[in-house]
Amino acid sequence: MRLFEVILLIVCTVFPFLYLFNFSSRNKLTGLSIISVLFIMHVFLEGLRWQMISGYLIALVIIIFLLGKIRFQAKGKLAVTLTLFFLIISLGIGWTIPIIFPVFKLPTPSGEYKVGSQYLKIMSDHLEVITEDPEDKRAIMVKVWYPSVVVNEEKESYLNQGNRLGFSSKYGLPESITHYLDYVETNTYQKPQIAEEKFPILIFSHGSNAEAFGYYALMEEIVSHGYIIFNINHTYESSGSLFPDGEIKLYDKAFDQKTNTEIMGEMAWNAIQEYEKANNEYDQLLAVEDLIRNYVAAEISLRWSKDISEVIDRLAQWNETSFLSGHLDLSKVGVFGHSQGGSAVGQAMLDDDRIMAGINLDGVQWGVMIDTTIQKPFLLVSSDWDQEHLNLNKFAYRNLDNFNSIVIRDAGHSNFMDIPLLVNFSLINEAGKINPYRAYQITSELILDFFDKSLKGRSENLIDYANTYQEVEIAD
């Protein structure tokens, strides 16, 4: 919460009780001045937001009482009790909602470079299988995060309208619910000049039905250390995608229902039942191998792998004719992704020889990885799942040699996204007990360490992180 929001709510909490017990009558003018000045300073210095509406209403009622426009005396125990009850409920709402949906602060990037961003559209020759139009071609948006030279460019707003509308639509909320995000200050500048160097290339794939660009905490930090990131928005499978003509394409629920059928549900159920009956690791493998190969998420990984290759296909052209001209080190291409995007990364490493290294951030590796291997450096960074969680990656990555697996203790599935900052309530945001900023610090340093070795040729021992961070565990 912001400074004047906190002070205003404190005053709104104290004043009603003073008034109720007749302590405010001597200093009405002082009280009126304090709450009015606080409200005005909040409006002009911080700005109004819907999460504070209960606090605003309490402040308005207090001002009316202090002006003497309404006289109120609670007579009798019942009246006092009811008054206190409604007052406490209102104050509870007034404090809770701004805390759950705060105007949060993003981590400050620690690298030497300022961060810029621009958007690129890819119009593919591949048919779009998600829509019903048989002539529809696949189109995807890519956000490019890059090291920049900032002159007088302004910082961009947190999330574009496609991501914002996708977020509100996903939860059945009005579009206006995200307007307060204009108050969140990013560390990313709008269309500055790219820094005068060649940089390694990273391609990022988001989680299913997630805000594709809702990973500022990681992206800004990584880019500040000298990487260009091509952040893909997988059309119809992110929460929302904004195109240059203003069209927004939201998550396609109908396609999800059509593909994620009862057969898929039965496949998962049967696999879990057989897995729980298994007496050894071999029987566990037999129970889940068909699920890993053929579950609907394996098809998503294949689609998204093609999107990743579409980006790589255009790197040479962008290196000649775009704002990136001459700044892409085409010999150094890495990929990383979160959740379903992490699975797509593994699939892309099988599909595309141009990829040198990859990281899966807490995704289940669906598809044919279970039957094959790759020699490229590959890292799995997992959240701290409970012991009952079905660890399919143990089997999916069974054939890999140049592979490391890391667990961040007390991290939840969303701790790789900005969601723990956006929604400060673990029952909703799926975050773990770890401090969100600590999780971002550890994750970004793991990512940078891995790609510095794999793409930049640094040679330090990964296992040192187990000694550096007590939250890091090198998995078997």
**Tens of pLDDT along 365-417?**
999 999 999 999 999 999 999 877 889 999 999 999 889 999 999 999 999 99
The yes-or-no verdict on residue 336 having pLDDT over 90 is: yes
Q: Average pLDDT in the 239-266 region? A: 96
The yes-or-no verdict on residue 23 having pLDDT over 60 is: no
d(CA 466, CA 474): 7
pLDDT for residue 27: 66
pLDDT for residue 270: 95
Give the model's confidence band at 81: pLDDT under 50 very low, under 70 low, under 90 confident, else very high: confident
pLDDT for residue 67: 78
Q: Using only the alpha carbons of the chain, give its radius of gyration.
A: 26
pLDDT for residue 61: 84
Q: 184 and 102 in contact (C-beta within 8 Å)?
A: no
Q: Average pLDDT in the 199-228 region? A: 98
Render pLDDT for 253-279 as a digit per residue (tens, 0 to 9): 999 999 999 999 999 999 999 999 999
Q: How high is the mean pLDDT of the chain?
A: 92
Candidate from 76-90, 260-274, 391-405, 443-457 with smallest mean pLDDT: 76-90
pLDDT for residue 121: 98
Render pLDDT for 102-147 as a digit per residue (tens, 0 to 9): 999 999 999 999 999 999 999 999 899 999 998 999 999 999 999 9
Q: 278 and 179 in contact (C-beta within 8 Å)?
A: no
- Distance, CA of 115 to chain centre: 18
Three-state DSSP string of the chain: CCHHHHHHHHHHHHHHHHHHCCCCHHHHHHHHHHHHHHHHHHHHHCCCCHHHHHHHHHHHHHHHHHCCCCCCCCCCHHHHHHHHHHHHHHHHHHHHHHHHCCCCCCCCCCCCCEEEEEEEEEEEEEECCCCCCCCCEEEEEEEEEEEEECCCCCECCCCCHHHHHHHHHHCCCCHHHHHHHHHCCCCEEECCEECCCCEEEEEEECCCCCCCCCCHHHHHHHHCCCCEEEEEECCCCCCEEECCCCCEEECCHHHHHHHCCHHHHHHHHHHHHHHHHCCCHHHHHHHHHHHHHHCHHHHHHHHHHHHHHHHHHHHHHHHHHCCCCCCEEEEEEEEEEECHHHHHHHHHHHHCCCCCEEEEECCCCCCHHHHCCCCCCEEEEECCCCCCCCCCHHHHCCCCCCEEEEEECCCCHHHHCCHHHHCCCHHHHCCCCCCHHHHHHHHHHHHHHHHHHHCCCCCCCCCHHHHHCCCEEECC
Buried b (16+ CB within 10 A) or exposed e, 55-90: bbebbebbbebbeeeeeeeeeeeeeeeeeeeebeeb
The yes-or-no verdict on residue 75 having pLDDT over 90 is: no
Question: To the nearest whole percent, how much of the chain has pLDDT over 90?
Answer: 79
Give the model's confidence band at 70: pLDDT under 50 very low, under 70 low, under 90 confident, else very high: low
Give the model's confidence band at 29: pLDDT under 50 very low, under 70 low, under 90 confident, else very high: confident
The yes-or-no verdict on residue 464 having pLDDT over 80 is: no
The yes-or-no verdict on residue 461 having pLDDT over 70 is: no
Q: 55 and 8 in contact (C-beta within 8 Å)?
A: yes
pLDDT for residue 230: 98
Please name which of 412, 361, 358 lies closest in space to residue 383, comparing C-alpha atoms.
Answer: 412
pLDDT for residue 427: 82
Give the model's confidence band at 14: pLDDT under 50 very low, under 70 low, under 90 confident, else very high: confident
Residue 146, beta-bridge partner list: 116
Render pLDDT for 161-208 as a digit per residue (tens, 0 to 9): 999 999 999 999 899 899 999 999 999 999 999 999 999 999 999 999
The yes-or-no verdict on residue 85 having pLDDT over 80 is: yes
pLDDT for residue 127: 93
pLDDT for residue 1: 87
pLDDT for residue 87: 81
Give the model's confidence band at 26: pLDDT under 50 very low, under 70 low, under 90 confident, else very high: low
The yes-or-no verdict on residue 71 having pLDDT over 60 is: no
The yes-or-no verdict on residue 352 having pLDDT over 90 is: yes
The yes-or-no verdict on residue 25 having pLDDT over 60 is: no
Domains of the chain by start residue, with CATH? 3-100 (no CATH), 114-474 (3.40.50.1820)
Please report where in the chains the tokens 């003018």 appear, as a residue.
Answer: 29
pLDDT for residue 78: 73
d(CA 134, CA 347): 26
> Residues with Cβ < 8 Å from 433, sequence gap 6 or more?
410, 426
